[in-house]
């Protein structure tokens, strides 16, 4: 198959990582792969080097989506792919809008990777894109969700469900695995003592990740548990980050909480923590949770998206926006930090959420689509 992927930018993010892994996996199976991005400079672009995957920079400048759409149409006409697989709402809108002007053999596959979105927290442009994406979804040849929750939520918001399927994220266990050397190195860098339990929240600094509930739970945990620290790793709005710093100071957690920017050595990060916490108000299927489990980490997650399905019986699931429940969940998991429970988390990822499963299921669905 000749497959083109379309995404805004190859920066560090869950959707971007999954696209890269899927593209590489399909290329390794002999398919011709091209990745189209609006602009260059994404940190993940280097992951495509020496893979045989073509990267095309469409160079969207300014705010003229119409001009950009014409550029996309020209490129698709040249490439004439069997599949145009877009990721996220704006790219889905553009791919479907291009459909009448490209080769009829090209099938449009949309990727939707968000379950709950509090659209009121975003600007009018994002709200408009979401509305348009909902309307246009009926014209796609296939819509792939990465969670059951995402499919259910989108359907309730007007997205067409007639051509929808669910393929969960896949996790590379050759990249994410227990690594004691990396653990020791990064904990020394962070000045975390061997006897200290380190609880981590990894994700962008954004309202949807609900860091404030995490910090409130941290304040409760440190009142009853000695030798515990907390770390938040991500990027995002400086104003949001400043508000977190004020909250940390108000709780007297300055010496217990670390706020640090994103890193490239994520295996070391996962191995450096003892417990992974996801306090999100909304997720679809979290890469962070799956990658941490692949490294043998137990997780405490809010009951959003498919997070409960992802952790299964290996972690603790609590309601969102509930600091008391989150604190109790963290304390419960901290009592289970042993090799047996660690192995259970790893086995669940290997058996149900492997990267191989993601690649094989996607390939099968794309072949089926072309046969129709």
CB hemisphere CA count around 125 (13 angstroms) = 3
Per DSSP, the residues of 253-290 read: -TTTEEEE---S-HHHHHHH-SEEEE--S--SS-HHHH
Residues in Cβ contact with 125 at an 8 Å cutoff, skipping those fewer than 6 apart: none
What is the structure's pLDDT at 122?
67
- The answer to whether domain 2-170+354-371 and domain 180-352 are alike in fold is yes
How much is the mean pLDDT over the chain?
94
What is the structure's pLDDT at 37?
95
The token pair at 363 is 């390939």
β-strand pairing of 228-233 with 2-7: unpaired
CB 110 within 8 A of CB 86: yes
In this predicted model, what pLDDT tens digit does every residue of 173-184 receive, in sequence order? 999 999 999 999
In this predicted model, what pLDDT tens digit does every residue of 86-117 receive, in sequence order? 999 999 999 999 999 999 999 999 999 987 66
- Give me the mean pLDDT over the 179-208 stretch: 96
β-strand pairing of 54-57 with 83-87: unpaired
- Domain locations along the chain: 2-170+354-371, 180-352
CB 333 within 8 A of CB 345: no
State the CATH architecture for 2-170+354-371: 3-Layer(aba) Sandwich (3.40)
Strand ranges across the sheet with 142-145: 54-57, 32-37, 2-7, 83-87, 107-112, 142-145, 164-166
Would the pLDDT of 372 be above 90?
Answer: no
CA-to-CA separations, 349 to 49, 239, 294, 353, in angstroms, rounded: 27, 36, 6, 5
Rounded to whole angstroms, how far apart are CA atoms 336 and 235? 30
Rounded to whole angstroms, how far apart are CA atoms 269 and 204? 15
Query: CA torsion sign, 160 to 163 to 167 to 169?
Result: negative
- Give me the mean pLDDT over the 17-27 stretch: 96
Rounded to whole angstroms, how far apart are CA atoms 282 and 278? 10
State the CATH architecture for 180-352: 3-Layer(aba) Sandwich (3.40)
In this predicted model, what pLDDT tens digit does every residue of 275-284 receive, in sequence order? 999 999 999 9
Residue among 110, 143, 150 nearest 307 (CA)? 150
In this predicted model, what pLDDT tens digit does every residue of 106-158 receive, in sequence order? 999 999 998 766 666 667 788 889 999 999 999 999 999 999 999 999 999 99
Residues in Cβ contact with 181 at an 8 Å cutoff, skipping those fewer than 6 apart: none
Rounded to whole angstroms, how far apart are CA atoms 24 and 46? 12
Would the pLDDT of 62 be above 80?
Answer: no
What is the structure's pLDDT at 295?
98
């Amino acid at each position: 198959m000749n497959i083109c992927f379309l995404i805004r930018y190859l920066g560090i993010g869950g959707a971007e990582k999954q696209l890269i892994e899927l593209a590489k996996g399909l290329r390794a199976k002999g398919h011709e792969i091209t990745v189209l991005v609006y602009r260059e400079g994404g940190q993940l672009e280097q992951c495509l080097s020496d893979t045989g995957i073509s990267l095309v920079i469409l160079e969207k400048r300014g705010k003229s989506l119409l001009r950009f759409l014409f550029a996309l149409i020209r490129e698709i006409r040249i490439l004439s792919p069997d599949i145009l697989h877009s990721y996220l709402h704006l790219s889905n809108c553009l791919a479907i809008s291009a459909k009448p002007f490209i080769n009829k053999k090209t099938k449009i596959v949309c990727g939707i990777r968000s379950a709950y979105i509090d659209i009121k927290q975003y600007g009018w442009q994002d709200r408009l894109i979401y509305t348009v994406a909902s309307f246009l979804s009926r014209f796609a040849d296939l819509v792939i969700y990465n969670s059951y929750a995402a499919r259910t939520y989108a359907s309730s918001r007007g997205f067409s469900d007639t051509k929808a399927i669910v393929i969960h994220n896949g996790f590379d266990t050759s990249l994410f695995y227990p690594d004691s050397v990396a653990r020791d190195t990064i904990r020394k860098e962070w000045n975390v003592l061997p006897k200290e339990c380190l609880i981590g929240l990894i994700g962008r600094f954004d309202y949807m990740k609900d860091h404030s509930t995490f910090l409130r739970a941290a304040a409760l945990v440190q009142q009853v548990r000695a030798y515990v620290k907390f770390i938040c790793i991500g990027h995002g709005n400086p104003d949001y980050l400043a508000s977190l710093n004020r909250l940390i100071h108000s709780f007297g957690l300055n010496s217990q909480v670390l706020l640090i920017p994103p890193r490239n050595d994520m295996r070391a990060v996962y191995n450096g923590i003892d417990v992974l916490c996801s306090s999100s108000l909304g997720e679809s299927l979290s890469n962070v949770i799956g990658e941490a489990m692949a490294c043998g980490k137990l997780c405490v997650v809010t009951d959003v998206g498919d997070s409960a399905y992802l952790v299964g019986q290996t972690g603790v699931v609590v309601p969102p926006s509930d600091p008391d429940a989150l604190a109790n969940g963290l304390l419960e998991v901290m009592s289970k930090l042993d090799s047996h429970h660690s192995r259970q988390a790893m086995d669940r990822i290997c058996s149900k959420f492997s990267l191989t499963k993601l690649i094989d299921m996607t390939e099968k669905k794309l072949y089926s689509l072309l046969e129709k």
